[in-house]
Amino acid sequence: MARKNHRGAYRTAIWYVLIVMGGTLAGVLPAFSLLASWQEKSHGYNHPSVLAMLGLYLKLFLRLAASPLVLGWLFGGALIYICALALQKLKVTLVSRLILAGISAYLSCKILLLISPTGWPSLAAVYLTMLGTGFVGGAFGFFVYPRICEESFQTGPLGKGHKMLAGAWVLLISLAWGYTAYARIKISSTKDPQVELVFAKWSPAEGQVREELNKAIDPPFHYLTDIEIQELRAAGITGILRGCGGSGVLKKGRRFVVVSSRPVRETIDLPKPAGSDILYIQTEEGWKAFPASTPTVGRTVRLSYFGPNAHQTYPTTNITADMGLGHPRVEYGIGGFSWKPEGFQAPMPSLVAAKPVSQ
């Protein structure tokens, strides 16, 4: 009996992952994402293509399938199988199918909320996704019930397809966890200190350089330290600095401050500090480092131009850091600076005392 239940439960769990989890990631979420992008298109944005959206969620499906989170979906499929066996005691097949459909729909929505592969942009997105996932899950429960009731489904030997799926899943997990172990070893071997990224914009003004609080942030606070301001003043820089973001405060990290004046389309690599704080400022003579004698390592923080797209009106300078595995793609970086059209002609400070950054 145990062998019988194991085979049936395995088949149901595999089908549940492929149909319900796969259907949600390959059908429901892309459809709602594309539907939401049509409103953005009316404002002049370039909305993502169908193939691009399907490719994005296919990657999410593979990542989820190789993570421990897939166990939630497998458990849901096994639970549906157990419920179907219990519902066989009812004499009316249609009633049993409807009950199993309701159980499957509820489980699918519950699992999606607990193990969501993506963040929720709004409450409406949550409800719409639950509606679509519940429909897929309910349809699965309704149509799988007759198959579960078949003796061959419960006791028949597993076919080549099921064995190939199991083998592919094991291979996927092995590759994913193997790469994760390699990445952790590679990153830890670099021994680079963590960096706290801080971004600020410079604008011309009379008098010594000073920082003005960004009133758009509530409550406003200073991004730069007194030591950093004094270093810039010692170099003869004038003007106003306004903080515009960062990566958050790290108790054991080193400050990596980037002061920019205008966007640049070429990629800029700024060396990471070896063990102390560092500030880089964009000038007419190029990017300069403060303090000029700060020791650096071969890995860098990269500034990349990222143009307008379906999710942002203005271009940005995205920031990525090489942790030992190279730089991630520019779209995965932190949006350090946002630029309006007039920002491309903004002036830059001029100085010659600071140390140029080696490119």
Q: What's the pLDDT at 104?
A: 94
Contacts 24+ apart (CB under 8 A), 98-102: 98/142, 100/141, 100/142, 100/144, 100/145, 101/138, 101/139, 101/141, 101/142, 102/138, 102/141
DSSP string, 115-163: S-SS--S-HHHHHHHHHHHHHHHHHHHHHHHHHHHSHHHHHSPP-HHHH
Q: What's the pLDDT at 294?
A: 87
Nearest to 237 by CA among 79, 351, 108, 89: 351
Sign of CA dihedral 144, 150, 155, 159: negative
Between CA 104 and CA 110 the distance in angstroms is 10
Q: What's the pLDDT at 45?
A: 44
Sign of CA dihedral 78, 80, 81, 82: positive
Between CA 138 and CA 23 the distance in angstroms is 12
Whether the Cβ atoms of residue 120 and residue 165 lie closer than 8 Å to each other: no
Give per-residue pLDDT as tens, 185-227: 888 888 888 888 889 898 888 888 888 876 666 566 788 888 9
Whether the Cβ atoms of residue 337 and residue 304 lie closer than 8 Å to each other: no
What is the edge-to-edge ordering of all strands in the sheet holding 296-306? 268-273, 296-306, 316-321, 334-338
Give per-residue pLDDT as tens, 275-286: 888 999 998 888
Between CA 99 and CA 88 the distance in angstroms is 11
More confident residue, 239 or 32: 239
DSSP string, 207-265: EE-EE---TTSSS---SS-HHHHHHHHHTT-EEEEEEEEES---TT-EEEEEEESS--S
More confident residue, 309 or 249: 309
Give per-residue pLDDT as tens, 322-350: 888 888 888 778 888 888 888 888 888 88
Give per-residue pLDDT as tens, 6-28: 788 888 888 888 888 888 777 66
Total-model pTM? 0.63
Give per-residue pLDDT as tens, 79-134: 999 999 999 988 889 999 999 999 999 998 888 887 765 555 556 667 777 888 88
Q: What's the pLDDT at 293?
A: 86
